[in-house]
Chains A and B, each alone.
Chain A
């Protein structure tokens, strides 16, 4: 599958010992984040310890993949050649139901239809054999 990898020219995430489980989970189509075994806090980005109580005991817990748009931007200028054909493209900040906020792209919606607090759900985008990105699609409000 090296052929498909070579076709993906956009930037890929930097994998570290801290975030490896996050990316491994996405590859299995699971959105997982660290949850403190002591105080129950769920946090992102990955950290060596609970930013709340400093416990080093945590579990990579499965999240619902649901959340809402907290803020968003639309790029009209490409800073990477590989994004030139996508202009204008959105970047959304999704606030997950479990609390943490992550940056992503919102698919299946026109940029001018994006709204704050719009309900969204995760979509697993296998961009290479190694990397799956957590993107989002609108979901019906309930």
Chain B
């Protein structure tokens, strides 16, 4: 039971990003400087007014919080950094909301700055990916002794299980990356902008079957930042506030595998009918899935969008394959998803680029890809963490 109500008590007041690209040949700290400076400019806050920071995903792929603070000459009262996983994106923003409400900082920059390019072999599932050899296995289901490695393989295991359980296939799944690429074609910042169709998806090579290359996110460099402060203070700043209306934490335990909702039956999960839609985030924000104007989700692999849709009650388990057809998740459709193009097409900034896009959508700054009358937008992950934002 929450003993203080954070609904609409905090807001995002500034967003910024660096260039996104492959092999930018710029250090993560350099990229972080662009994202933070742009977010400060956007908000109207001065550097010295920024007294908190939470960094998602530090060294060796990203820039560590302490180094950013030192090299950028920040004066922080509170800072923190998460374990190197994309599933902490919402957590960072949630913790920032709690920090400003607790009076431990007034304005908190939340960001990731990453340089994946050139580190793919050693870091993403290869022989020096030490996480794969972690006691009790890797965080994505890795077991290198059997050649089971890389985050995508864990997602492929879920996809195969899902296909089998619900009688669907890769062709149906293609609707997700096809939609996101279409969105990216309207986004000048996106790295991959050339649209493709279902046939091209089917013909792209397998990386870990049943997932094709076009089911996989990009591997790139870049940084993105959002600044959180109290709603009271936000109302006096340069931009219209984007309120954090509801949030729920990242669940863990034996029924939770990061790429699958509970009950699907991978790893040590039980098999049962998941009751979707009964999520605290909706109660806190006072809305239901029907009120959500656009959805953003961590799309390191296409299947994760299906899992998120079902977990958060946009449709029932097994219905995501039909839900995502016929333009329904595209801009102009009933529920546009990842209008920036997502990790699959805009850039892989751990979901931080998605937070920037959400704010721009709610401010009406999204240009060609603007969702009409966007007032309530949700970030909701296959993993179960979520934030509901409103203008």
Residues of B within 8 A of A45 (CB): 136-137
Contact yes or no, B146 A91, CB < 8 A: yes
Q: Which of A44, A76, A133 contacts B208 (CB 8 A)?
A: A76
Residues of B within 8 A of A71 (CB): 157-158, 160-161, 164, 266
A38 is an interface residue with CB less than 8 A from chain B:
no
Residues of A within 8 A of B147 (CB): 10-11, 75, 80, 83, 86, 89, 91, 105
Q: A residues 106-142 with Cβ under 8 Å of B?
A: 111, 116, 131, 133, 135
Q: How far is the CB of A122 from the nearest CB of chain B, in Å?
A: 13
- Given the known A-B contacts A73-B153, A93-B266, A100-B268, are A80 and B144 also in contact in the complex, defined by CB atoms under 8 Å? yes
A18 is an interface residue with CB less than 8 A from chain B:
yes
Q: Which of B125, B126, B153, B266 contacts A91 (CB 8 A)?
A: B153
Footprint of A on B, CB under 8 Å? 121, 124-127, 129, 132-137, 141, 143-150, 153, 156-158, 160-161, 164, 205-210, 254, 265-268
Rounded to whole angstroms, the CA-CA distance of A13 and B148 in the bound complex is 12
Rounded to whole angstroms, the CA-CA distance of A101 and B257 in the bound complex is 13
Can you name the residue of chain B whose Cβ is closest to the Cβ of A47?
B136
A-B contact pairs, 7 of them (CB 8 A): A11-B127, A13-B143, A19-B135, A72-B160, A74-B206, A79-B121, A133-B146
Q: Which of A46, A83, A100, A116 contacts B164 (CB 8 A)?
A: A116
Can you name the residue of chain B whose Cβ is closest to the Cβ of A134?
B146
A61 is an interface residue with CB less than 8 A from chain B:
no
Contact yes or no, B136 A80, CB < 8 A: no
Q: Which of B126, B164, B209, B254 contacts A79 (CB 8 A)?
A: B126
Rounded to whole angstroms, the CA-CA distance of A18 and B137 in the bound complex is 13
- Given the known A-B contacts A46-B136, A80-B126, are A70 and B145 also in contact in the complex, defined by CB atoms under 8 Å? no
Residues of B within 8 A of A133 (CB): 145-146
Rounded to whole angstroms, the CA-CA distance of A93 and B160 in the bound complex is 11
| Chain A interface bracket (under 10, 10 to 19, 20 to 34, 35 or more) | 35 or more
A16 is an interface residue with CB less than 8 A from chain B:
yes
- Given the known A-B contacts A45-B136, A71-B164, are A91 and B148 also in contact in the complex, defined by CB atoms under 8 Å? yes
A103 is an interface residue with CB less than 8 A from chain B:
yes
Residues of B within 8 A of A101 (CB): 266-268
Between A12, A44, A79, A100, the greatest number of chain B beta carbons within 10 A of the residue's beta carbon is seen for A79
A77 is an interface residue with CB less than 8 A from chain B:
yes
Q: A43-B268, A80-B144, A103-B141 are in contact. List 17 more A-B contacts (CB 8 A).
A: A11-B133, A11-B147, A16-B135, A19-B136, A74-B206, A74-B208, A74-B209, A75-B208, A76-B206, A80-B147, A88-B206, A91-B146, A91-B153, A93-B157, A101-B267, A103-B148, A105-B146
Q: Which of B135, B144, B157 contacts A73 (CB 8 A)?
A: B157
Rounded to whole angstroms, the CA-CA distance of A83 and B125 in the bound complex is 13
Between A11, A19, A43, A46, the greatest number of chain B beta carbons within 10 A of the residue's beta carbon is seen for A11
Residues of A within 8 A of B124 (CB): 79
Contact yes or no, B207 A103, CB < 8 A: no
- Given the known A-B contacts A71-B157, A75-B153, A116-B164, are A14 and B208 also in contact in the complex, defined by CB atoms under 8 Å? no
Rounded to whole angstroms, the CA-CA distance of A14 and B144 in the bound complex is 10
